[in-house]
Structure 1
Amino acid sequence: MDQGLAGKRVLVTGGTKGIGRCIALSFARAGSRVVTCHRSDSEAAEDLARALKEHGDGHLVVRADVTTRDGAEQFAEAARRALGTVDVLVNNLGVDGGVAFPDLDADEWQRVIDHNVTAAYLVTHAAVGVLGDGASVVNIGSSVALRGRSNGVHYTASKAALIGFTRGLCKDLGPRGIRVNLVSPGLTETEPGAALPPHVVERIVGMTALGRICRPEDVADAVLFLAGDGSRYISGATLNVDGGI
């Protein structure tokens, strides 16, 4: 099914690696114009810029720390200059964290919350003025939000918060026809969690109905669905992309 993404103007946070990179390139292949950001890895940013160029002109990779208000506003302004109105915003930026609760200090708690929750708020708040009526916001969460994970209280809490953020935001932006949804992947190849010891990965795969861990393209396909015409009456939803764990 044609999702009607050709010509769409797309903003993606954290687009230079892993899931974010796959999302950015998937939109570009669908004919969308993409603006994405990175914070420090210029080599990955340059590589993504080259890859985007293969799918046409009009794409942009900017340096911005969207965990800060100034960085988020800088990113939104870059999108306004490059794209004008934004049709799709993907809040993909996130970090993992594996710390036993007794060792979880305030700095580590704040690091994960800043990247996984506050950045989504800051970017969306900064970009709301450039989102067109009928736009789509897609947040990237995690399937652990409702299951929990040992040695990851702060990570679990941050991803659970995105469910509430999504549900609340869809009410506020709904009058403009803007849809807000959440994609919740399971353990994903190329992401930090995929570096778990083999026996842990094997245990997780054994719990998964489809018998494998998630791939970035699995997540990207779900994002493009929620950004496209086929999901025109879906808002406030959490789409689990976890293989049935």
Structure 2
Amino acid sequence: MAESSEINLSGKKALVTGASGGIGKHIAIALAKRGAQVVVHYGGNAEAAEEVQQEIEKQGGEAICVQADLTQADQIEKLYDDAEDAVGTLDIVINNAGVPGGSLLTDLDLETVDSLIDVNFRAVALSLQQAGKRLNDGGAIVNISSMLGTRPLPGTSVYSATKAAVDVLSKMAAREFGERQISVNSLSPGATLPGMFGRGTAEKQQAFADATPLKRLGKAEDIAEMAVFLVSEPGRWINGSVVTADGGYSV
């Protein structure tokens, strides 16, 4: 595998959803560090998104912030319109935005189910629809999934199901977009900080670290470097895959 520090994405235009914090923030920064011009999508936290943009610019990169409510189909289309207006036709899309939530099946409430499906699945499907129509030939798409999509834990039923669905979407999109040389993969993190797992207790975090062969939790930078590789030329032959990045937890 090529050193990710040597990867050159100069001239590439990238959209990262949910890039105002957590894993998305670090993916946006990592792409910009390799020369990509990055559209930093955010849902509601404009200040956090602007901080990501400023950090990228301080490092000599280029970024612009674009707001969209991914629960609204027309806003997903507008997100792509705004991104193209700002930077031109996209080469890279990282579908990172997601929401946590869940309970035991017997305790599910409809509001949580709808929220998880709307953001974690429906928004990804509609984003892929736009990306499939709009990306430059030879582009790359990475959908941020979760190890819970293949190894669900009690209390994560619907969340895990949405991430499993994202893995299937990635495989089908790879089939459908392949004629245009567009690669599509799922990147499936394990317990990672900062990220959704940061909402867990210190005891829960330590238990996951202890259960991982490397005896630590993942860092957002770990996932960002994998995303960079998957959209780069050295990573082009990986396509239609679910790439697990969990430090060996699932072994």
TM-score, normalised via structure 1 length: 0.96
Matched residue, 1:3: 7
Count of paired positions: 245
Matched residue, 1:210: 214
C-alpha contact 1:58 1:82 (8 A) present in aligned 2 = no
Q: Counterpart of 2:106 in 1: which secondary structure?
A: helix
Q: Partner letter of residue 144 of structure 1?
A: L
C-alpha contact 1:31 1:55 (8 A) present in aligned 2 = no
Determine if the alignment matches structure 1 residue 106 to structure 2 residue 105: no
- The percentage of counterpart residues that share the same residue type is 34
Matched residue, 1:119: 123
Instruction: Report deviation, 1:58.
Output: 4.3
Deviates more, 1:10-19 or 1:190-199: 190-199
Matched residue, 1:153: 157
Matched residue, 2:73: 69
Q: Counterpart of 1:10 in 2: which secondary structure?
A: strand
Q: Partner letter of residue 162 of structure 2?
A: S
Given candidates 224, 227, 232, the residue that maps to 1:228 is 232
Unaligned runs of 5+ residues in structure 2 are none
Matched residue, 1:242: 246
1:217-236 Cα offsets, whole Å, 9 max, x none, are 00000000000011121110
Determine if the alignment matches structure 1 residue 44 to structure 2 residue 41: no
1:145-191 Cα offsets, whole Å, 9 max, x none, are 11111111011101111110011110000011000011100111121
In 1: Cα distance, 2:115 partner to 2:175 partner: 28
Q: Give me the CA root mean square deviation.
A: 1.3
1:40-62 Cα offsets, whole Å, 9 max, x none, are 11221221221122234642111
Matched residue, 1:200: 204
TM superposition outliers: structure 1 runs of 4+ over 3 Å? 55-58
Instruction: Report deviation, 1:204.
Output: 1.3
Q: Counterpart of 2:191 in 1: which secondary structure?
A: coil
Q: Partner letter of residue 63 of structure 2?
A: H
Given candidates 142, 147, 154, the residue that maps to 1:143 is 147
Unaligned runs of 5+ residues in structure 1 are none
C-alpha contact 2:8 2:35 (8 A) present in aligned 1 = no
C-alpha contact 1:68 1:122 (8 A) present in aligned 2 = no
C-alpha contact 2:23 2:224 (8 A) present in aligned 1 = yes
